[in-house]
Structure 1
Amino acid sequence: MKDIAIVGAGGWGLALGLLLNEKGNNITVWCYDEAEKNSILQHRENKRCLPGIKIPLEIHFTTSMREALSDQEIVIIAVPSKAIRATVNLMKDYIAQDTIVVNVSKGIEEGSLLRLSEVIEQILPNKVVVLSGPSHAEEVARHIPTTVVVSGRDMKAAENIQDTFMTKFFRVYTNDDLVGIELGGALKNVIALAAGTIEGIGYGDNTKAALITRGIAEITRLGVAMGGNPATFAGLTGIGDLIVTCTSGHSRNRRAGELLGRGYTVSEALDKVNMVVEGVPTTKAGHELMLKYEIEMPILNAIYETLFEDKSVKESINDLMQRDKKSEHYY
């Protein structure tokens, strides 16, 4: 039995809290504000992010970071990527140095272009482990078999987290390619936006299969340039996460893309989804990385132009289809 804090009371943080609570651990969840905490305590569920999933009374909720992080063996960060730096700055005065920090958010920090573990390590001296893979909160909370992967600079810490999270329905692998795991988990959200636009505009399975296949090639190309192992992108945090995010109705990135394909503006699509759509800021950061490393990423560039340069979805797809002929390469 371990004392574990979860920073963030959204769907993914709560799903992991339920899993760890069922294993007999003591779980404390930090909420961003009193209104969020009071709503969860009143209804024993997060009606917006994880409706229909009841939260047991033994899970404790607080808005005090001091209370949440006091004497914890493990702290899980489950906030949107854009909030990582500000949240970790709130944590730094209260977390013990021997506490293992587990980041389960996916993204790239805008501006700095740092991976999220790098942002955390800039602020905290703790060992940082990343958990990633094809894992919708709605399914994990309902005990639907799920497989993920963990990585970190300290693989003994990663193995500790592997043991902590493993259940009969939640299988955890280790992988020492921290760069590849973080980039795969972040950039798949960009391709998921594109997959949604294909649905919204009315194209079919042929188009989606081409997108997923060429999308993972682009992700691998950039990942290798940044130091990742190409084999990682054929695994859970690469093609696995890409498949689930591009095809599932649970995917908020795919839903946002579908609305774009149906003619909604970016702001209208985000308002309608009403949850964080990580693919939008990641597209901007990914585009900057593409330019920095001089990597050819036509799909990422097309979704960037659709999101930020008002290019129509149909025009973007037509331009992709009519590019100069090439030989196929994996990356």
Structure 2
Amino acid sequence: MIGKVSVIGAGSLGTAIAQLVSNNVEEVFLHARRKEVVQDIQKNHRNLQYFPNIPLSPKIRAKHGYESSIDSEIIFFCVPSSAVRKVACEVKDLIKPETVLVSTAKGIEYPSGKTMSQIIYDETRKQPVILSGPNFASEIVLNQPTVTTIASTTQKNLEKVKKVLTTPEFLVDTVSDVVGTEMCSILKNINAIAYGICEGMNLNENARFAVLNKSFQETKEIVKGLGGNPDTVDGYCGLGDMVLTSTSNQSRNHTLGILYGQRITVDEKSSSILFEGKKSVMAIKKLCQENNITCDICQFADAVLNHQKSPEIAFQELWGKMI
């Protein structure tokens, strides 16, 4: 059994990952940004903000900040994509050479166009294992049947991460296609926004699922154009995560799309809700333009989200490109 694992970020996913890996390790350190979260977990052994009714494993220890070193064999980065560079910079000198890093954020930096793994490598000089879906934290923490995909070109790192994650209910698929897996985790949020816009417009089901099918096809083309394996899109991190994120009411980006389809603008700063897909739309559009890759679904989402085009007009333009 692995001794110590650290999870950076005590939000819903970080808490769920900590609960999951506690089945397979001796001790889990859950690093929280806010002192009150640490105090809640220390006092009540629950994360009262995210999962108030779920007792956490006694193996989980909440910590505020970092010590002189992070003495863990594996570190999971469970922070929003907008915070990954800052966190990686903060911990880069505290990580042991043999420690395996795992990236869980689903986003891409704008305007640099760098993925989360590229950002983590920039700051730490370590290539992380990529963890992708189809997963909701609320189901992981309840130990409900779930499959995830992890990707790395280093086999021993894949095996180590798979070992700490796997339970009878939580199954882990391993692949070597880092580019494809990570792009799937980014594009599924854009596809969810596009599908949500169509739903918010009260578009008929035939048209909505035609858009979803085009999203799947374009994901393959974008993955291939950026150097990944298009077959990866057929897997759990591709089709499975795309359908889950596009159609579930638990998906923030699906909800964001619905609101914009109803012409309701969301102020993320005032709502404190993070939508990973919104900046990804601009970054992917830029990447596709630079690499001469068709991205009609992304352009549709961009027109509605970032250029205030009416959903109806934007959809008519998309519909003319379906065949």
TM-score by length of 2: 0.94
Give the aligned partner of residue 297 of structure 1: 295
Cα separation, 2, equivalents of 1:121 and 1:226: 18
Give the aligned partner of residue 93 of structure 2: 93
Equivalenced residue count is: 322
Cα separation, 2, equivalents of 1:177 and 1:103: 14
Give the aligned partner of residue 8 of structure 1: 9
What are the within-5 Å matches in structure 2 for residues 124-273 of structure 1?
124-267=124-267, 271-272=270-271
Name whichever of 196-205 and 221-230 sits farther off: 196-205
SS in structure 2 at match of 1:27: strand
Cα separation, 2, equivalents of 1:36 and 1:257: 31
1:263 Cα deviation (Å)? 2.1
Query: What is the one-letter code of the residue matched to 1:126?
Result: K
Query: What is the one-letter code of the residue matched to 1:16?
Result: I
1:61 Cα deviation (Å)? 0.9
1:145 Cα deviation (Å)? 0.9
RMSD: 1.9
SS in structure 2 at match of 1:296: coil
Cα separation, 2, equivalents of 1:312 and 1:47: 40
Give the aligned partner of residue 54 of structure 1: 55
Cα separation, 2, equivalents of 1:25 and 1:205: 49
Matched, 1:308 2:306: yes
Cα separation, 1, equivalents of 2:204 and 2:41: 40
Cα separation, 1, equivalents of 2:103 and 2:115: 11
Matched, 1:31 2:32: yes
Give the aligned partner of residue 276 of structure 1: 274
SS in structure 2 at match of 1:150: strand
Query: What is the one-letter code of the residue matched to 2:297?
Result: I
Give the aligned partner of residue 74 of structure 1: 74
Q: Is the 8 A contact 2:5 2:28 kept in 1?
A: yes
Give the 3 Å change call, closer, same or farther, for CA 54–195 of structure 1 in structure 2. farther
SS in structure 2 at match of 1:29: strand
Query: What is the one-letter code of the residue matched to 1:319?
Result: E
Unaligned runs of 5+ in 1: 327-331
Cα separation, 2, equivalents of 1:128 and 1:101: 5
Query: What is the one-letter code of the residue matched to 1:180?
Result: G
Cα separation, 2, equivalents of 1:158 and 1:36: 31
Query: What is the one-letter code of the residue matched to 2:275?
Result: V
Q: Structure 1 vs Structure 2: percent identity of aligned residues?
A: 29
Give the aligned partner of residue 319 of structure 2: 321
TM-score by length of 1: 0.91
Give the 3 Å change call, closer, same or farther, for CA 319–165 of structure 1 in structure 2. same
Q: Is the 8 A contact 2:25 2:164 kept in 1?
A: no
Name whichever of 294-303 and 206-215 sits farther off: 206-215
Q: Is the 8 A contact 1:97 1:125 kept in 2?
A: no
Cα separation, 2, equivalents of 1:51 and 1:247: 26
Cα separation, 1, equivalents of 2:196 and 2:48: 24
Cα separation, 2, equivalents of 1:200 and 1:50: 29
Cα separation, 2, equivalents of 1:318 and 1:50: 42
Deviations 1:283-319 (A, max 9, x none): 1111111111111111110111111111111211122
Give the 3 Å change call, closer, same or farther, for CA 70–246 of structure 1 in structure 2. same
SS in structure 2 at match of 1:147: strand
Q: Is the 8 A contact 1:81 1:105 kept in 2?
A: yes
Unaligned runs of 5+ in 2: none
Cα separation, 2, equivalents of 1:51 and 1:322: 48
1:103 Cα deviation (Å)? 0.8
Give the 3 Å change call, closer, same or farther, for CA 209–160 of structure 1 in structure 2. same
